[in-house]
Amino acid sequence: MHKSKRLLRPHSRLSHLANMIQAPYSTVWDCCCDHGLLGMSLLNAGYADEVIFVDVLENIMTSLTDRLVQDFPQNQYRWQVRCDDIKNIVVPNADSQLFIIAGVGPHQTTEFIDSLCASAPDTAFDLLICSVHGSYSVRQTLINQGYRLKAERIICDKNRFYEAIYVSKSADQTLVDTGSQMWNWPDPMHQDYWHRTVGHYQQKAKNDSAQFQPIVERYQLLRAAIENTAGIIQKQR
């Protein structure tokens, strides 16, 4: 593989995820890798000594193996392809591992996080999560598992919003269910994301107020806090 060859579209969701990673890791697991673009890009850029690609789809994993053999010869790169369910993965007892789970819904993402953590309760590993919708419940799962925040971003790609949540048990910052440092309120794109998120939970609260109204209120509180801080900063200027 040529170092200059670009695997990820600039400013795409996957390229944002790659840019957030604080490398190097000994092992990066590209979970639910599909065509493996993210993992290949990390392998190409030397983000990890080894990249392990995992997905359940046999035909996709066969073509991915063919591509890796050709573009990332095993005398130069370390990689493995595992055709398996993430829920069967037992996290090995090793230092410096990152598991990336991106492009699946919140229910599956939550199941995968819980399963990885249950497989090795005494092994520390970092997670980079970017689920499709439902980041609130994913964040609650991460908080319950004892994760803390390394970095987070709101990503808009092809008019769809995502939250990238990068966590470690040894990170300095508290992980917040509504997100914290990722919000840049003057950015209209972030305001749009806030409105869509609150609108989504308001809609759900119409059928199940007990479950979803508290979530609406969490986001409203967050907005009030952000606007309050922005007002204080403006007054100080």
Ligand X SMILES: C[S@@+](CC[C@H](N)C(=O)[O-])C[C@H]1O[C@@H](n2cnc3c(N)ncnc32)[C@H](O)[C@@H]1O
Judged by beta carbon, residue 125 or residue 194, the one nearer ligand X is 125
Residue 234 CB, nearest distance to ligand X (Å)? 39
Judged by beta carbon, residue 87 or residue 218, the one nearer ligand X is 87
Residue 159 CB, nearest distance to ligand X (Å)? 16
Residue 70 CB, nearest distance to ligand X (Å)? 21
Distance from C-alpha of 118 to C-alpha of 20, rounded to nearest angstrom = 26
Judged by beta carbon, residue 103 or residue 179, the one nearer ligand X is 103
Residue 103 CB, nearest distance to ligand X (Å)? 3
Alpha-carbon distances of 192 from 61, 114, 221, rounded to whole Å? 37, 31, 17
Position with the least CB separation from ligand X: 103
Q: Which residue carries 């591509």 as its tokens? A: 67
Rg (CA), the chain: 19
Question: 82: Cβ–Cβ under 8 A, 6 or more apart, which residues?
Answer: 52, 53, 54, 61, 89
Residue 50 CB, nearest distance to ligand X (Å)? 18
Q: Strand 160-168's sheet: what is its strand order?
A: 78-83, 48-55, 25-31, 97-102, 126-130, 160-168, 148-157
Judged by beta carbon, residue 162 or residue 201, the one nearer ligand X is 162
Judged by beta carbon, residue 142 or residue 215, the one nearer ligand X is 142
- The DSSP call for residue 103 is S
Helix (H, G, I), strand (E, B) or coil at 61: helix
Judged by beta carbon, residue 71 or residue 157, the one nearer ligand X is 157
Binding residues vs ligand X (CB under 6 A): 14, 32-34, 54-57, 85-87, 102-104, 108
Distance from C-alpha of 89 to C-alpha of 97, rounded to nearest angstrom = 14
Residue 96 CB, nearest distance to ligand X (Å)? 21
